[in-house]
Amino acid sequence: MRFQVSLWGALWLACMALASPASAQSGFDRQGDDYTNFPVRSGDPALCAARCERDARCRAWSFSYPRTENAVAVCWLKNKVPPRTEDKCCVSGVRGAGVVEPRNVQVEYSIDRFGADYRFFDVASDPAGAACKAACEGENKCRAWTYLRPGYVGPSARCYLKDKITRPRHRPCCISGVVR
């Protein structure tokens, strides 16, 4: 009887683990095993994940943000699941994994707070926009900030400091936040 109960318990736990949705990893690449690639003009990694879902050969994918002003984002579809390696250039996942940006109440991933800029400047590339956030927190005038990933407007990343809190808009180019 005890064996039966623990067997059912183990089965239930295994089913729950399989039922929980997989997610893509922002800040990771999966190198190798590519069978095709294509440009993603919108710069949205969710399009790469969706394309993998529709292609029976696809087992994993990597999305690379544009690195220069003239480059476009690229999606790489893979016929195997290579190990992930940390790289801020990319978002990667396995088939069945949608793009889920990290959750943080102070940082809004894939959000642009357009307008109300009182100053902007180039910053080092950073997957979390930490330097931009710190700059805003260090100025009394700053109410919100937007970090623009490199390659969307120019070859380097850019920080926009805002004197008003503007409406958030979904755009994969950006990371934003509000200082209260």
Q: Which one is predicted more confidently, 56 or 101?
A: 56
Residues 6+ apart with CB under 8 A from 38: 51, 74, 75
List, for residues 65-100, the tens digit of each pLDDT value.
887 666 788 999 999 999 989 887 888 989 877 665
pLDDT number for residue 103 = 55
Alpha carbon distance 93, 52 (integer Å) = 10
pLDDT number for residue 145 = 96
**Which region among 7-11, 96-100, 140-144 has the lowest average model confidence (pLDDT)?**
7-11
- Is the pLDDT assigned to residue 2 strictly greater than 80? no
pLDDT number for residue 141 = 93
Q: Please give the average per-residue pLDDT across 46-66, as a whole number.
A: 89
pTM for the model: 0.57
Alpha carbon distance 56, 168 (integer Å) = 36
Q: Which two tokens stand for residue 143?
A: 């109410």
List, for residues 14-33, the tens digit of each pLDDT value.
333 333 344 567 788 999 99
- Average pLDDT across the chain, whole number: 81
Domains plus CATH for the chain?
Answer: 21-94 (3.50.4.10), 108-178 (3.50.4.10)
Place 115 in a pLDDT band, splitting at 50, 70 and 90: very high
Q: Please give the average per-residue pLDDT across 43-48, as a whole number.
A: 83
User: CB-side exposure of 139: number of CA atoms within 13 Å?
Assistant: 20
Alpha carbon distance 51, 73 (integer Å) = 14
Q: Please give the average per-residue pLDDT across 162-167, as a whole number.
A: 91
Residues 174 and 147 sit within 8 Å (Cβ to Cβ) = yes
